[in-house]
Amino acid sequence: MKEASIRKERDTEYNIYTEKDRLLYLYFVFEKGMKNKKAAAAANVNSHTARKWKQKYQQSPEEYVPYKLTNLVPSRPAKNRQDDRRKDHLVKFFDENKKATIDDAVKDFTQSFENLEIIKKSRVAEFMKNECNLSIKTISRHLTARNSPTVIEKRAVWAEEWLAKGMIYLQNCVFLDESGFDINMTRERAWSARGELAIVETPSV
């Protein structure tokens, strides 16, 4: 009769995370808009574990994190009201001036805020990406009249006329429409909120 083999203890070591680790990861994901892998690395947690935290939070945010993330992350410095004003100003500036550059932002900053220390272009770029959640991308050009009530009404009338004639437009039609074109195309990229298109309206030609 053979002796039963001695059961070996598992060699696997499990990471032990604190509440601070979990909240820091969730802050990076939902407040900073970082991807799972990047946020996990920044919070120094396992990406698989972090993904579970994210799923639980999305299923029940109030129960899983009972307070605002910004109030629970101890490593996050207290927000400066002046920084909030500058952030709002910068977001509005690029929302109204899609094709503006970082140099334009620096110039606008110095003109809009008194007693502002000389700021570097690199500092403004960092502030735009990290605090304002802005990113640069290829411009999507839309005609100014593209979504005007008049144009929409004309398209609806045209579609109703052809539908009444029995045309199966999804099978045998090709739709041609005006495309946005800027005569002075000097800049092809623009800043906009992360995850959103950088839409620039252009006149018809």
Reported as a single tens digit per residue, the pLDDT across 134-164 is: 877 776 666 666 667 787 788 788 778 877 8
Burial of 65 (0-12, 13-18, 19+ CB in 10 A): buried
Three-state DSSP at 143 gives: strand
- The residues, ordered by sequence, that sit 6+ positions from 102 with a Cβ below 8 Å of its Cβ are 121, 124, 125, 128
Three-state DSSP at 190 gives: strand
The helix or strand, by DSSP H or E, that contains position 199, with its residue range, turns out to be strand 198-202
pTM: 0.39
2-13: average pLDDT: 46
Confidence of residue 3 (pLDDT cuts 50, 70, 90): low
Contact yes or no for 149/109 (Cβ under 8 A): no
Tell me the average pLDDT of the chain. 71
Closest CA to 203 of 175, 186, 170, 178: 178
105-111: average pLDDT: 84
> Does the pLDDT of residue 105 top 60, yes or no?
yes
What does the alpha-carbon distance between residue 164 and residue 128 come to, in Å, rounded to a whole number? 52
Where is average pLDDT lowest: 8-12, 21-25, 32-36, 88-92? 8-12
The helix or strand, by DSSP H or E, that contains position 202, with its residue range, turns out to be strand 198-202
pLDDT digits (tens, 9 = 90+) for 27-45: 888 778 888 888 888 888 8
Confidence of residue 62 (pLDDT cuts 50, 70, 90): low
Q: Given this model, what pLDDT does residue 130 score?
A: 82
